[in-house]
Structure 1
Amino acid sequence: MEIGLLLSFIGLFLSVMLSLLAFYRKRKELYNYYSVIWKSSRKLSPKEILGERPCEDFYMKRNVDELVLNRIESKQNILIIGQPLSGKTRAVYNAFKNAAKKYYVLIPRSVPMPVFQIPTDYFFRKNKVIFIDDLQHYIEKQDNYHLLFRQAQLKNLPIIAACHSGKEFTKVKNKLTEQNLNIDILFGSGVAEVEKISADTGKQVAEKLGMKWDSIKFNGTIGSIFMRLSEMERRFDTGDIIEKTILRVLRNLYLSGIYDDNNIMRTDWIKKAAARHELSAKEFEWAGWLKSLEEKEFLKVLPGAKIWAEDAYLEHVVKPEAEAPLLDIFHTAIETFKDDPEVLQLVGETIYDYALDDPQFLEFMNLAISAFSRELELLSGTDKINQLKKVKYSLGQAYFNLSQSLDTLENSRLAITYFNELLVHVTRDADPYEYARIKMKLGDAYRFLSFVDDIGTNCRNAISSYNEALEIFTIETNPLDLAITYNNLGSACGLLAESGDPVENCKRSLEAFSEARKVRDKTGYPPNDAFTKFNTANTFMYLSGFEEKEKNLLEAIKLYNEYLNSEAIRKSARNRGGTLNNMGYAYMLLAGAVNRKENLLKALEIFDEALKIRNKEQMPIDYTETMCNIGETYKYLSEVEDEEMNLLRAKDALDEALTLPEIEKHPMTYSTIRYTLGSVILDLAAISGGKRDGVNIDSGMKQLTEAADAAKGYSEAHYTMIVEEIEKRKAQHGG
């Protein structure tokens, strides 16, 4: 009996020990992805928040400090933005130290996590908070960043984040939008920008620190005083050619996104990039050079053949030997690391982010695609599933964005191909949320493809993809995803109406938009339903062609006006231009029901406003669409007054619309231009007796035939309408 009890005790003891061992192993693994795991804010060291940067005893209070404290204490998210060295991270450290309550802090590293999870707090403590420093880096490096925001919301965990302002902040907003996350929803009124300080204030701070003002390179930030930029510039300028070359290499690696968590770079990357500058040496020589740069405070040598570099010095102190455009720096990075798939992914993502917010969109996006394509070539046939998933998603996104500006048919098909390939690695059973998210992306790509190819088939494919996503998203866990999917489903049903069963499909579209609004009414997501209003207006406008014309058009115009006055549209010139174009078209159609001349003139006035945004140079396809609408409006106005003059104006607008070669790849718009131009030419020929050059029955009929050819196989309804017009015109002209 005693032996039995002893054996039971030993078994229990071993079971407990094994459980503890498993716990500590798991916790140790999590420290690869989190630098701090639920640690008391009162026990946090400066290094755990500020990293390698200095932490002076002196702290200058600013307006942002009170907001940070208030948001933390009320368990609300806060995002602090500001230029480098503005003191964003120090403001958070100061808030933790001065808060009345004790908080338990989780700090994620900016590194990929194969299977995302927020560590469990086994002590069930209250007042937990997540802090993300350099949000722009975290979103770049952590593939599952969207899951952190979503899980934090479900667990009621407030997030404090710090982010660079300017272009970096814009990139963060773009990346969040791609994941159906909205920065206004996530942070609300808790977005605070750290203001610059005046030179007089800077002098007072320098005096308190015992620093000479004339030795400081002040740029309006508190950090520029502490970090001694002038002294670091002097050290750079007096460094030898090898030190300057290494620092320039670090700068280009940083600009290309080739770094790990918080500006940590691997020495093998540095050596490989330096070799392009004919700088190569033995290990002990490299150790000496890096040690010298560490002593000069440019970097810190870390264990594991890595270094940490201060980004403020790379941005403000290290000067290139000769100024080079970013595109050239990116090209060089791709060529240097053309056989390293991991680095190609880093570079490609950096270029992609730049593309989304740069006038050279096409050049940047095509270069990003070249990096991803080379990476996929290297990974093909390997078992590196996580990297394959990442690069296929990146290619799908890149081609989808490219399809909106160039070769819509080819690029939409490529986006669909890569998203479908991604589903080979992501199954509904194993990862339902990720599966639904990819289905949403597929729906978007099919919907966009429907603008240029087989509208019926592609809209039905889009609808099928959205419906499958809707089977997974729930109002409790994914309200924003749910609302967006209903909104996109409504758009796809509205487009399908152009292929057949217009009334039924328009009503299905309106039902989907109604479901999106129900989600908002129940959950508050999205807080602004302006885009749903825009899409609903489009559906009412199309439905007006089949029933209650005046009522449906007035409803569409009302919704367009509400959208034009919303906060959402003020942030997007393109959306404003598109809304003005559609509202102008609604007035043109309304002229067919009431106040013919008045509404046609109103339409032309609105189209002119749209063209101030939809210019030929920056938005050629949008410009062409509006010119087509202007031509159509002048044609209808010719039936009211000044027939010949208005027909000539219509012809000029339509001829201008045909000057864009790319428009032939947009069958609906191209067919409409040719159809309207053919009708205008035939009407002009009837007036002039065919005496005007290029204005005769043959040229008019040729335009109608080309319109039919463009519509055939794309929209049977549109094709049938044109064929009927051709037969009617033949009968009129005896042919």
Structure 2
Amino acid sequence: MNPNITDSVVKATIAAIVSESATTEEQIQMLLEIALGWQKKHPTAKDLRNVISLYYRIYEMCGEDYPLLKAKAKVGMGKALQRIPNVSPQLLLQAKAAYDEALPILQQFAVKAEVAEVQMNLGLALQSLVPFNLARIVDSVSAYHQALQVFTWQDYPQEYAILYNNLAIAYLSMPLASAREYFHQGLAVQSLLVALKHIKLSEHPREYAMLQNNLGNAWQYLVTAHPLENNLRAIAAYDEALKVRNRQDTPIEYAHTIANKANALRSLSDNRPQLAIQSRAYYQEAWEIFSQYQHLKQAQLIAKLVQKTVTDITNYHQQ
């Protein structure tokens, strides 16, 4: 349900907590809990902006007396800023600044997991700023590696899986430079394989599917002298992801994976019209799902691929 976090709700919440017969520190902690609870309820962009205003009020209440709580308010702001969809990088820059301010204080006073979570979020903010030429991908990778010192597979399997997934995406996005490019692509594959040694289908299905889907992508676009083998490996990875992802429970994730599988099948379809027909069926289903859920950008992209595959099939029949 939409939490409907309006400006008046924020003001009323602050007024109610401040009127309590509690210490300032207790009031700040209560407000932090409320803000965190709101963030977990799938808020809209407008809701998130009002959550940020609550965090800012908490930040002001801390003054110089409660540095750790002040840092936690900054982290909350950063997380909310990252979740607001925006075509410009301004909110991401604000999120990065919030994490940069909070980290030294958290490293001094907070538990290691809190520090690692901020490093993970900072890595993602930096990664998102790279296309704007406002951050370096190597700094994002460094932040992820710092977080991995705490988020081990034994104690934090979900965070561990997400970090290795993000690392793989970061490696694949590194600048193209012949031999170095191949090295980065290899690192991406290796990152995902390392994570999959520990993230099992039976224990962490969602994370397992995420890793397998991106392993398929990494295999598919790995530049080697063995494209056939790599495409077959990619298809096997997508099939593993599809053991979890389905149209009913995870429609968008499912659509991405079948579209990826369609790409791999189409790459293999030279003189194999049956593979082109399979590819077209997957593209068609992905297009239907993206259209149904208003993911129009993806739907338009897939529509072009459907048409290209139809052309491929027509050409086979004319040969």
- TM normalised by structure 1 equals 0.36
CA-to-aligned-CA distance 1:247-281 (integer Å, 9 cap, x gap): xxxxxxxxxxxxxxxxxxxxxxxxxxxxxxxxxxx
Shift of 1:418: 0.9
Structure 1 residues 629, 394: CA separation in 2 closer, same or farther (over 3 Å shift)?
Answer: farther
CA-to-aligned-CA distance 1:567-596 (integer Å, 9 cap, x gap): 698643211111111111111111x43411
Shift of 1:395: 6.1
Bigger relative contact order (CA 8 A; separation at least 6) = 2
Whether 1:446 aligns to 2:81 is yes
In the TM superposition, what are the counterparts of 1:315-354 in structure 2 within 5 Å?
A: none
2:103 partner amino acid: L
Equivalent of residue 536 in structure 1, options 167, 183, 192: 167
Equivalent of residue 607 in structure 1, options 226, 238, 245: 238
In the TM superposition, what are the counterparts of 1:716-731 in structure 2 within 5 Å?
A: none
Residue 301 of structure 2 corresponds to which residue in structure 1? 675
Equivalent of residue 513 in structure 1, options 139, 144, 167: 144
Equivalent of residue 434 in structure 1, options 53, 69, 75: 69
CA-to-aligned-CA distance 1:171-211 (integer Å, 9 cap, x gap): xxxxxxxxxxxxxxxxxxxxxxxxxxxxxxxxxxxxxxxxx
Whether 1:401 aligns to 2:33 is no
Aligned-residue RMSD, C-alpha: 3.6
Q: Take 1:630 and 1:413, find their aligned partners in 2: how far apart are those partners?
A: 36
2:207 partner amino acid: N
Whether 1:484 aligns to 2:128 is no
2:275 partner amino acid: N
Residue 658 of structure 1 corresponds to which residue in structure 2? 287
Q: The residue matched to 1:480 in structure 2 has which SS?
A: helix
674-683 or 615-624, larger mean C-alpha shift: 674-683
CA-to-aligned-CA distance 1:118-141 (integer Å, 9 cap, x gap): xxxxxxxxxxxxxxxxxxxxxxxx
385-394 or 553-562, larger mean C-alpha shift: 385-394
Q: Take 1:645 and 1:439, find their aligned partners in 2: how far apart are those partners?
A: 55
Equivalent of residue 563 in structure 1, options 190, 195, 198: 195
Shift of 1:663: 4.2
Q: Take 1:646 and 1:496, find their aligned partners in 2: how far apart are those partners?
A: 38
Shift of 1:617: 1.9
Is the CA contact 1:392–1:419 (under 8 Å) kept in the aligned structure 2? no
Shift of 1:686: 6.5
Structure 1 residues 422, 604: CA separation in 2 closer, same or farther (over 3 Å shift)?
Answer: same
Is the CA contact 2:39–2:51 (under 8 Å) kept in the aligned structure 1? no
Q: Take 1:636 and 1:480, find their aligned partners in 2: how far apart are those partners?
A: 43
Q: The residue matched to 2:132 in structure 1 has which SS?
A: coil
Shift of 1:562: 1.8
2:278 partner amino acid: R
Is the CA contact 2:199–2:207 (under 8 Å) kept in the aligned structure 1? no
Q: Take 1:656 and 1:442, find their aligned partners in 2: how far apart are those partners?
A: 39
Equivalent of residue 93 in structure 2, options 460, 467, 487: 460
Is the CA contact 2:82–2:91 (under 8 Å) kept in the aligned structure 1? yes
Is the CA contact 1:578–1:610 (under 8 Å) kept in the aligned structure 2? yes
1:549 partner amino acid: E
Structure 1 residues 378, 496: CA separation in 2 closer, same or farther (over 3 Å shift)?
Answer: closer
Shift of 1:378: 9.6
Percent identity over the alignment is 17
Q: Take 1:535 and 1:444, find their aligned partners in 2: how far apart are those partners?
A: 17
Q: Take 1:455 and 1:594, find their aligned partners in 2: how far apart are those partners?
A: 39
Whether 1:574 aligns to 2:199 is no
Is the CA contact 1:491–1:509 (under 8 Å) kept in the aligned structure 2? yes
Structure 1 residues 458, 425: CA separation in 2 closer, same or farther (over 3 Å shift)?
Answer: closer
Residue 584 of structure 1 corresponds to which residue in structure 2? 216
Structure 1 residues 426, 464: CA separation in 2 closer, same or farther (over 3 Å shift)?
Answer: closer
Structure 1 residues 455, 678: CA separation in 2 closer, same or farther (over 3 Å shift)?
Answer: farther
CA-to-aligned-CA distance 1:680-716 (integer Å, 9 cap, x gap): 4145337637x9xxxxxxxxxxxxxxxxxxxxxxxxx
1:446 partner amino acid: L
Structure 1 residues 658, 567: CA separation in 2 closer, same or farther (over 3 Å shift)?
Answer: closer
1:616 partner amino acid: R
Shift of 1:508: 1.9
Residue 265 of structure 2 corresponds to which residue in structure 1? 634
Residue 278 of structure 2 corresponds to which residue in structure 1? 649
Is the CA contact 2:265–2:279 (under 8 Å) kept in the aligned structure 1? yes
1:607 partner amino acid: Y
Shift of 1:610: 0.6
Is the CA contact 1:455–1:496 (under 8 Å) kept in the aligned structure 2? no
User: Hey, which of these two has a bigger chunk of strand by percent?
Assistant: 1
Q: Take 2:215 and 2:117, find their aligned partners in 1: how far apart are those partners?
A: 23
Is the CA contact 2:10–2:51 (under 8 Å) kept in the aligned structure 1? no
534-543 or 644-653, larger mean C-alpha shift: 644-653
Is the CA contact 2:74–2:102 (under 8 Å) kept in the aligned structure 1? yes
1:675 partner amino acid: L
Q: Take 2:184 and 2:192, find their aligned partners in 1: how far apart are those partners?
A: 12
CA-to-aligned-CA distance 1:220-253 (integer Å, 9 cap, x gap): xxxxxxxxxxxxxxxxxxxxxxxxxxxxxxxxxx
Residue 419 of structure 1 corresponds to which residue in structure 2? 52
Residue 255 of structure 2 corresponds to which residue in structure 1? 624
- TM normalised by structure 2 equals 0.76
Is the CA contact 1:490–1:512 (under 8 Å) kept in the aligned structure 2? yes
CA-to-aligned-CA distance 1:499-543 (integer Å, 9 cap, x gap): 3349x63222112224335xx3xxxx3454734333222211222
Shift of 1:544: 6.8
Q: Take 1:653 and 1:490, find their aligned partners in 2: how far apart are those partners?
A: 34
Structure 1 residues 544, 623: CA separation in 2 closer, same or farther (over 3 Å shift)?
Answer: farther
Q: Take 1:456 and 1:558, find their aligned partners in 2: how far apart are those partners?
A: 31
Residue 305 of structure 1 corresponds to which residue in structure 2? none
Shift of 1:466: 1.8
In the TM superposition, what are the counterparts of 1:143-292 in structure 2 within 5 Å?
A: none
Q: The residue matched to 2:50 in structure 1 has which SS?
A: helix
1:653 partner amino acid: Y
Q: Take 1:588 and 1:594, find their aligned partners in 2: how far apart are those partners?
A: 13
1:470 partner amino acid: L
User: Hey, which of these two has a bigger chunk of helix by percent?
Assistant: 2
Q: Take 1:423 and 1:610, find their aligned partners in 2: how far apart are those partners?
A: 41
Shift of 1:426: 3.0
Structure 1 residues 444, 574: CA separation in 2 closer, same or farther (over 3 Å shift)?
Answer: farther
Is the CA contact 1:455–1:495 (under 8 Å) kept in the aligned structure 2? no
Residue 329 of structure 1 corresponds to which residue in structure 2? none
Q: Take 2:313 and 2:199, find their aligned partners in 1: how far apart are those partners?
A: 49
Q: The residue matched to 1:613 in structure 2 has which SS?
A: coil
Residue 197 of structure 1 corresponds to which residue in structure 2? none
Q: Take 2:255 and 2:247, find their aligned partners in 1: how far apart are those partners?
A: 8
Is the CA contact 2:35–2:54 (under 8 Å) kept in the aligned structure 1? no
